[in-house]
């Protein structure tokens, strides 16, 4: 079958061009078609898939081909646009509506770069710069810019940061719907430096509007027994980046990000002796997850880490019964992967302190040893020998005994 795009004026655009110039592997290729109509695309065998504006799948490569378009703001929020896909729309007009200069480059099919807005220079200099004032019409772009800082470590241009601040002041950011906020956070958590996402939002004032539970941690002092030279917000930034070093799992990274939310509503004097912030933090985590419609798997792990992470830090001093209750609360026997995620989030918390970045975390291996000992208890034999509540009591007793024996062996070796 001949390639139906051969007779069309097509250009490779967006992330594929950007990532090729960065020397990164190109994952997806998107194309813009100039001078065509939906009828012509369908006639050539392209399959229409766009809902808001004409997008088509190539019949052979299955790559996306969108008609060149311009847009007009008609209502507040990211969805309030009307689109014009007339065959008269030029490539420059299409690219001018894009968010950042590094995303507004194109290539001809034979590899010739087209760069109307200086994207290549900004890419070389590590700068995120908006293409035009149309940037301010879509509040999702604030989140996208923040996410690109987490991916590439690029700086936001002063004029772009100023524009983002104005969008926050004008209330445009308040039109963001929960699903888009969560999706951008989820994607940012998959980047190498998630903390830069938080910092970029804070720099323009958007963090207070989108994630007020995180924003209020900045300025709250850490307890003296930790690293008092930084506040709780800075600690969170270190922790989420440590989680990114330890695992690719976004659920673990999310749990690390929100594990200390309670500290912004709890007097510091309460922390050492009576950790109210854990219980209050659980409420805040649940509220945040409900507001953003966070999936249950993310929420459940985040709640567990928020409520129990301090126990792991002092695992050597816990009573065996407390360890058993912890494993029960985590449902570790039914979901061993959750225990692994939980431990990694706790390790990220410990390492998210000045001078602790590369320290060992022996508590992780200790808890895993305790888990294996407790799991070795044969619950089926106990169930055959006992009845009713006696089953649970005996299972608890034997698991406590198994953990106590492991501890004795460890003490004897020491």
Same domain (yes/no): 406, 268: yes
Give me the residue label for tokens 């007020």. Answer: 212
Same domain (yes/no): 109, 256: no
pLDDT-derived band at 92 (thresholds 50, 70, 90) equals: very high
Tokens representing residue 244 in the block:
């990114």
More confidently predicted of 175 and 207: 207
pLDDT at 270: 46
206 is a domain residue = no
pLDDT-derived band at 54 (thresholds 50, 70, 90) equals: confident
Task: Write out the H or E segment, with its range, that includes residue 366.
Answer: helix 362-375
More confidently predicted of 269 and 178: 178
Same domain (yes/no): 242, 98: no
pLDDT at 269: 45
46 is a domain residue = yes
Same domain (yes/no): 348, 242: yes
pLDDT-derived band at 274 (thresholds 50, 70, 90) equals: very low
* CATH code at position 46: 3.30.460.10
162 is a domain residue = no
Are residues 281 and 233 in contact, defined by beta-carbon separation less than 8 angstroms?
Answer: no
Number of folded domains that form the chain: 2
Same domain (yes/no): 109, 217: no
Examine the pLDDT at 128 and tell me if it is beyond 80: yes
152 is a domain residue = no
Same domain (yes/no): 359, 254: yes
Handedness of CA 357, 359, 362, 368 (dihedral sign): positive
Structural domain including 238 reads: 211-413
pLDDT at 273: 43
Same domain (yes/no): 102, 229: no
For the residues 28-57, what does the mean pLDDT come to?
A: 89
Distance CA 177, CA 212 (A): 15
Q: What is the pLDDT of the chain when averaged over all its residues?
A: 90
344 is a domain residue = yes
142 is a domain residue = no
Domain boundary among 118, 145, 176: 118
Count of other CB atoms within 10 angstroms of residue 343: 24
More confidently predicted of 77 and 359: 359
* CATH code at position 345: 1.10.3210
107 is a domain residue = yes
Same domain (yes/no): 112, 227: no
Domain boundary among 61, 89, 118: 118
346 is a domain residue = yes
Domain boundary among 85, 118, 151: 118
Tokens representing residue 37 in the block:
């109509």
Same domain (yes/no): 82, 221: no
Q: What would the 3-class secondary structure string for 333-359 be?
A: CCCHHHHHHHHHHHHHHHHCCCCCCCC
Same domain (yes/no): 222, 367: yes
pLDDT-derived band at 160 (thresholds 50, 70, 90) equals: very high
Quick one: what percent of the chain has pLDDT higher than 90? 74
């Amino acid at each position: 079958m001949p390639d139906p795009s051969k007779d069309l004026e097509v250009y490779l655009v967006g992330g594929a061009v950007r990532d090729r110039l960065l020397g990164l592997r190109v994952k997806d290729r998107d194309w813009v078609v100039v001078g065509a109509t939906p009828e012509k695309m369908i006639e050539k065998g392209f399959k229409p898939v766009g809902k808001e504006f004409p997008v088509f799948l190539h019949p052979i490569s299955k790559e996306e081909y969108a008609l060149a378009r311009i847009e007009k703001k008609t209502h507040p929020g990211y969805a309030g646009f009307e689109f014009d896909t007339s065959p008269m729309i030029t490539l420059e007009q299409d690219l001018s509506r894009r968010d950042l200069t590094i995303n507004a480059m194109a290539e001809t099919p034979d590899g010739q770069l087209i760069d109307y807005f200086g994207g290549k220079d900004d890419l070389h200099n590590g700068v995120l710069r908006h293409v035009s004032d149309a940037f301010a019409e879509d509040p999702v772009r604030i989140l996208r810019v923040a996410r690109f800082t987490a991916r590439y470590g690029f700086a936001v241009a002063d004029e772009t940061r100023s524009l983002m601040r104005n969008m926050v002041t004008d209330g445009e950011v308040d039109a963001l719907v929960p699903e888009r906020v969560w999706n951008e956070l989820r994607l940012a958590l998959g980047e190498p430096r998630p903390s830069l996402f938080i910092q970029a939002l804070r720099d323009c004032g958007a963090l207070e509007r989108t994630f007020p539970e995180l924003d209020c941690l900045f300025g709250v002092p850490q307890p003296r027994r930790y690293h008092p030279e930084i506040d709780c917000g800075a600690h969170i930034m270190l922790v989420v980046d440590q989680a990114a070093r330890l695992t690719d799992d976004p659920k673990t990274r999310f749990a690390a990000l929100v594990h200390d939310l309670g500290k912004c509503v709890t007097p510091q004097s309460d922390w050492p002796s009576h950790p109210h912030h854990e219980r209050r933090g659980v409420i805040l985590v649940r509220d945040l997850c409900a507001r953003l419609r966070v999936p249950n798997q993310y929420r459940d792990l985040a709640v567990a880490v928020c409520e129990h992470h301090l126990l792991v830090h002092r695992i050597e001093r816990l009573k065996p019964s407390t360890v058993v209750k912890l494993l029960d609360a985590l449902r570790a026997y039914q979901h061993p992967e959750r225990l692994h995620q939980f431990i990694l989030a706790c390790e990220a918390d410990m390492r998210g302190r000045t001078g602790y970045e590369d320290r060992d975390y022996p508590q992780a291996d200790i808890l895993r040893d305790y888990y294996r000992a407790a799991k070795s208890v044969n619950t089926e034999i106990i169930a055959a020998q006992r009845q009713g509540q006696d089953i649970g009591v005996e299972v608890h007793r034997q698991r406590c005994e198994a953990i106590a024996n492991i501890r004795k062996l460890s003490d004897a070796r020491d």
